[in-house]
């Protein structure tokens, strides 16, 4: 059962739902329609036409049933019946929603898998006087093949849609993560060379995929070896956070950070700065709590100045503020523009670094405080306040992932045209190792398959006593099932395998490869000629000429 629920009362709203059903977005392989990433974040005077022409719900009309709302009042809820649901299939759902009696309200859709369990599969902050777009989805994992969608307190319908999908991966990887290459071989006189042996090796990838490290890597050579064989991008677990570098006022200690930065430089890594500020009361130093506003303002400035004077230009990202949708310590003390002022100060100090908000539960699950629309509103506030170089950080601490929900949220975030990173990916340790690996693979494939995602960071540092939630290796740095998944994706599937062949009658050799840097070797007249090239995003074939 799908039920549209809300927070706030009284609330009356109208809706135009759709549910789309297809075995995969990769129509070429599965025979279904291609996945439509369309999304709207602005309220519309009139709703757009339903995606997929209504999908499975085309010509389906709701039946209105009396149900109790969250206040116990009886309201009439439209119900749409679903049949022939396929276990293991992903379904996309969307709806246009409008509230009548409130200025705005959070509307959520929940999927009831059985009589005892339901989960949220989408939400939107609906507004009065215009239509707001709700997009969600779910993985159907119930043995039943039927269900129903309930919309509480709906007064009218105009259109709806519902669609079934598998993975989007094959199509998006082919279109967004790869590009066609044609290598031309010519001699010193400019004549084409046929039959020349060509070998192509990818030496680095264009998609940043990394993991967190802790100070324990500094003294642990097996840890270093395992890490450096896989990753070129990293972030520090706790060492750079304010409560670590200034535990008491004015007593700075960057010793460990300096050592970790030396490791980064020595091994040609790039590092994210995590984090400048974290307003969670648990991680706010006691000495900050009793400060007056002017005192706290000076402390904030001192924090920025001390970090930037030491590490300006060293980090290619900065998580400026962690979890501002959940916690508001600085806003309470310094006013509603506290986070905006932090962004501006850091930008002035390091103008080429992308500055991120970093939040959890945006793609993991529905959360009344940290949802896609509240996050979008916060990002729009920053833009309106003059922040231009901003990024969207999604912490991605999962229990059981919902690929359909995750995909829908990424669609809405991508409309902002900002860099999107999964910054702290892990899976809760309550699951066994095999389950963790299964869920981790689902998350990573879904993220890599979305064209709006620019990079992925795992949260899997091995410290004394283990890892936060997800370990990739045992204490001897032998892969666990989760580590095997990383190797399968990062070192095999998402990297172009060595290509070998000969130039054709036109003196060329072509292939399609993942974006990144390549080395080309051509053997002609018993001599090896080496060249290199970079493959960036583009729809056109990349042409490379090698002179022999």
Phi, psi (deg, nearest 5) at residue 171:
-65, -50
Cβ atoms of residues 2 and 121 within 8 Å: yes
Can you tell me the distance from the alpha carbon of 176 to that of 448, in angstroms, rounded to the nearest whole number? 10
Per-residue H/E/C for 348-360: HHCCCCEEEEEEC
Tell me which residue of 219, 285, 283 sits closest to 252, measured CA to CA.
285
**Angle 529-535-538 from CA coordinates, rounded to 5°:** 140
Q: Pairing mode, if any, of strands 161-165 and 89-99? A: antiparallel
Q: Determine how many CB atoms are found less than 10 A away from the CB of residue 165.
A: 26
Whole-angstrom Cα Rg for the chain = 26
Tokens linked to 124: 């939107």
Set 359, 424, 441, 446: catalytic member: 424
- The full 3-state SS of 142-182, as one line of letters, equals CCCCCEEEEECCECCCCCCEEEEECCCHHHHHHHHHEEEEE
CA 132 to chain centre: 23
Choosing from 237, 246, 323, 364, the catalytic residue is 323
| 424 part of the active site | yes
Q: Rounded to whole angstroms, how far apart are CA atoms 60 and 47?
A: 19
CA distances from 89 to 105, 203, 239, 364 (A): 31, 36, 42, 19
Check: CB of residue 46 under 8 Å from CB of residue 110.
no
Cβ atoms within 10 Å of 410's Cβ, excluding its own:
25
Residues 6+ apart with CB under 8 A from 220: none
Catalytic residues: 323, 424
């Amino acid at each position: 059962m799908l039920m549209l629920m809300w927070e706030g009362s009284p609330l009356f709203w109208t809706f135009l739902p759709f549910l789309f059903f297809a075995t995969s977005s990769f129509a070429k392989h599965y025979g279904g329609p291609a996945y439509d990433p369309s999304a709207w974040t602005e309220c519309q005077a009139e709703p757009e036409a339903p995606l997929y022409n209504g999908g499975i719900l085309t010509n389906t009309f709701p039946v209105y049933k009396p149900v109790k709302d969250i206040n116990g009042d009886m309201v009439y809820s439209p119900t749409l019946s679903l049949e022939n649901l396929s276990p293991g299939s992903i379904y996309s759902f969307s709806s246009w929603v409008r509230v009548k009696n409130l200025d705005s309200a959070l509307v959520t859709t929940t999927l009831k898998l059985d009589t005892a369990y339901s989960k949220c599969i989408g939400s939107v902050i609906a507004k009065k006087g215009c239509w707001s777009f709700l997009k969600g989805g779910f993985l159907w994992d119930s043995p039943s093949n039927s269900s129903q969608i309930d919309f509480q307190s709906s007064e009218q319908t105009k259109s709806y849609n519902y669609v079934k999908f598998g993975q989007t991966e094959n199509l998006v990887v082919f279109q967004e993560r790869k590009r066609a290459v044609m290598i031309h071989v010519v001699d010193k006189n400019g004549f084409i060379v046929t039959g020349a042996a060509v070998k192509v090796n990818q030496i680095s990838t264009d998609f940043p995929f990394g993991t967190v490290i802790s100070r324990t890597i500094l003294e642990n050579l097996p840890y270093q070896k395992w890490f450096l064989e896989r990753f070129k991008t990293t972030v520090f677990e706790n060492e750079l956070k304010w409560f670590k570098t200034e535990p008491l006022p004015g007593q700075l200690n960057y010793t460990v950070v300096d050592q970790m930065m030396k490791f980064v430089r020595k091994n040609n890594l790039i590092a994210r700065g995590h984090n400048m500020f974290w307003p969670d009361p648990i991680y706010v130093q006691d000495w900050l709590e009793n400060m007056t506003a002017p005192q706290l303002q000076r402390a904030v400035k001192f924090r920025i100045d001390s970090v930037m004077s030491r590490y300006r230009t060293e980090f290619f990202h900065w998580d400026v503020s962690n979890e501002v949708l959940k916690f508001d310590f600085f806003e309470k003390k310094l006013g509603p523009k506290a986070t905006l002022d932090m962004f501006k100060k850091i930008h002035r100090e390091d103008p080429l670094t992308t500055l991120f908000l970093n939040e959890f539960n945006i793609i993991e699950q529905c959360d009344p405080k940290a949802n896609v629309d509240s996050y979008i509103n916060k990002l729009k506030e920053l833009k309106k306040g003059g922040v231009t170089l901003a990024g969207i950080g999604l912490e991605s601490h999962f229990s059981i992932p919902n690929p359909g929900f995750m995909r829908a949220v990424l669609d809405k975030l991508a409309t902002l045209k900002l860099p999107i990173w999964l910054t702290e990916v892990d899976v809760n340790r309550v699951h066994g190792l095999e389950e963790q690996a299964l869920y981790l693979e689902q998350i990573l494939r879904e993220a890599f398959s979305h064209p709006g995602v620019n990079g992925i960071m795992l949260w899997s540092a091995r410290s004394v006593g283990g890892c936060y939630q997800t370990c990739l290796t045992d204490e001897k740095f032998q892969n666990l099932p989760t580590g095997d998944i990383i190797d399968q994706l990062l070192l095999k599937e998402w990297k172009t395998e060595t290509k070998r062949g000969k130039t054709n009658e036109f003196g060329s050799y072509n292939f399609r490869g993942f974006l990144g840097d390549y080395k080309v070797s051509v053997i002609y007249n018993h001599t090896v000629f080496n060249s290199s090239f970079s493959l960036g995003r583009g729809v056109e074939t990349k042409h490379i000429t090698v002179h022999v």
